[in-house]
Amino acid sequence: MTDTTTHLEELIAAERKKANDRITKLRKQAETEQRKVDARVVELFKEQKPELHARLEGEARAALDAEKSERSRKAKRAASPTEPESGPEAATPAEPGEEVMRPWNG
């Protein structure tokens, strides 16, 4: 009985692997197709609304540059050694909306 069960489990596992491989292949094909459609939409948009496309492209680039700068600023802050805090001036955040973490002295 265990040989039959073991063999059946092996067959099920093999079929699951085949199905998962097929699903992965189908997802990749769908992603590739969507990228082609997206690229064509952008081409049509450029042709039909060049001024709006140029304006939105500039806005998108500015937003991406701002995000990149923010990530860089956070990375630099995380990499720099923390200075010991002293006095009330240390309780004020360096930038608006930024929290200051201090050790608990209780």
pLDDT at residue 38 is higher than 70: yes
What span, in angstroms and rounded, lies between the C-alpha atoms of 47 and 52?
Answer: 10
- Residue 45 falls inside a structural domain: yes
Q: How many CB atoms lie within 10 A of CB 57?
A: 13
- Residue 43 falls inside a structural domain: yes
What pLDDT, in 10s, does the model give residues 58-99? 999 999 999 999 999 999 999 887 655 555 555 555 555 666
Distance of CA 22 to the CA centre of its chain: 26
| pLDDT score recorded for residue 6 | 92
- Residue 96 falls inside a structural domain: no
What is the mean predicted confidence (pLDDT) over 44-66?
97
- Residue 90 falls inside a structural domain: no
Q: How many domains does the chain contain in total? A: 1
Whole domain around residue 47: which residue ranges? Answer: 1-77
What span, in angstroms and rounded, lies between the C-alpha atoms of 41 and 52?
Answer: 14
- Residue 5 falls inside a structural domain: yes
| pTM of this structure | 0.52
